[in-house]
Structure 1
């Protein structure tokens, strides 16, 4: 069992930190809104800290799940940042989806302080976090990963080291690129079924058993059919992630025409007031 700090208690971080406590780790939490940290302690035990630095002091592992590049820098750096409180030999594990650039930047700063750094973005959404079955894609030094993996296992169905610092973030980009195309294809399929006068549940029952089947189809078709979009990853966050993907593609020369197009479709959903709808809301723009 380890002393662990968890920074960021949103819809993902709150249950992830809970799994660490349930596994017997000694957990200290910090959140920008202190009330969430207090609520977590009331539910799971452990303790809360007033700053990221205070939470990180004495910890063997510091995990974070925050919003974007700037949020991560603020949590890690500065007088009250986690790095200022971490001991040499401790390992920072970042579960935020951010750019590979900020990951490499922070990894270098951590190394100068004798701190390990593993980028470990996750996939599986809120349900995956709550059920402890996330897919975790990691980048970093193999020794740091080997130490962190048993702790990450508290909420992972699969956890893999994909390469050096930044490889986890690049793999998460692959994940988001694949999801964008899948959700658009599913939206068009269900929309076509509607226009053709077919029963969506009956259509999905048949086609989901063949080559068209996917996690998105199995888990989202019903709520999409019912025009309900409060069951997963928000459009605002997906656009943030796709922006990271497109920027990285500009840098490495990859061609992402479908991703760029779907990003613009999500922009239309935002204009419809759907920024906090889940990503399956792509079908809503087809129904206008």
Structure 2
């Protein structure tokens, strides 16, 4: 593969596309805000285009990283969507955290056009995207995965095929379910330490070396203690992801009581005006309740 199109240049897509350009691929980009696409092309030497279809023309690989199911449908299946510009034998990879149903729909649509498809949601946040250290969970056929894996490796530390189309999205749901409980537990622990008059930093220094340690503790405790949340993965996006998890759980008859509760807590954070705060802002919610 020598030519890639990247659709969606948000906080994740912008650096991910940059890694492909630095790896020597010809990268064609599209973004809903044209100014950002122009800025990316000026920085990385690729080309920016007016529609997803135009960006996808002549590309061996088309990658999508947008907001939600409706956004994905628009940029892939819409009148000027990427599929209308793609050629048979090319490959579509969707990095958006979306529903498993959508992944299956895209897979079917791609097959009709002789195009391969991989659903490939990512974990690692903006920092992981910038450092090329994302974890990518994939769903699709083995031959398509084998074609995609070397390209995805340019911005990932781990790329794994989890099963047929939709399996990547289902695995990302597991990821978000686990994170929700971890962040709430960390928030409660730090809140308890504060109320007990303990030095929160010293507490973390001790317990992070044992069974309580986690990525969230290592990477978020400092800003949580300082009550700083203008960074990281936004509460609005986490609620979107947890909504997908809870809907899928209802269909699978899987019980997610903690996830449902934490989703409500994030709703409280939104009411506080924290929709753009990092997900670790669950601690601010607890502090506010304590003050009340």
TM-score, normalising length: structure 1? 0.99
Cα deviation, residue 223, structure 1: 0.1
2:226 maps to what in 1?
A: 226
1:66, 1:205 → 2: CA distance?
37
Task: Name the counterpart of 1:23.
Answer: 23
CA–CA distance in 1 between the matches of 2:224 and 2:42? 36
2:281 matches 1:256? no
CA distance in structure 1 between the aligned counterparts of 2:7 and 2:106, rounded to whole angstroms: 16
Distance, in Å, in 2 between the alignment partners of 1:216 and 1:244 is: 22
In the other structure, the counterpart of 1:205 is 205
Q: Shift of residue 78 of structure 1?
A: 2.6
Q: Give the RMSD, CA atoms, in angstroms.
A: 0.6
* 1:135 lines up with 2:143 in the alignment: no
The reply on whether 1:278 has 2:283 as its aligned counterpart is no
Q: How does 1:25-174 map to 2 (within 5 A)?
A: 25-174=25-174
Q: How far apart, in 1, do the equivalents of 2:67 and 2:78 lie?
A: 18
> Using the alignment, how far apart are the partners of 2:109 and 2:92 within structure 1?
12
Alpha-carbon separation, structure 1, partners of 2:253 and 2:156: 32
State the shift of 1:79 in Å. Answer: 2.4
Rounded Cα–Cα distance in structure 2 between residues aligned with 1:225 and 1:78: 45
Cα offset, 1:106, TM superposition: 1.2
Secondary structure at the counterpart of residue 246 of structure 1: helix
Deviation at 1:165, TM superposition (A): 0.3
Structure 2: any 5+ residue segments left out of the alignment? none
**Map of 2:2 onto structure 1:** 2
Bigger Cα displacement from structure 2, 40-49 vs 185-194: 40-49
Aligned to 1:187: 187
Flag as ranges the 4+ runs of structure 1 deviating above 2 A. Answer: none
Aligned residues: 288
Q: Distance in 2 between matches of 1:42 and 1:6?
A: 15
Structure 1 residue 30, shift from structure 2 partner: 0.4
Residue by residue over 1:18-73, the C-alpha shift from the partner in whole angstroms, topping out at 9 and shown as x without a partner, is 00001011100000000000010111111011100000001000001000000000
Deviations 1:168-218 (A, max 9, x none): 000000000000000000000000000000011100000000000000000
CA distance in 2: counterparts of 1:242 and 1:2, whole angstroms: 36
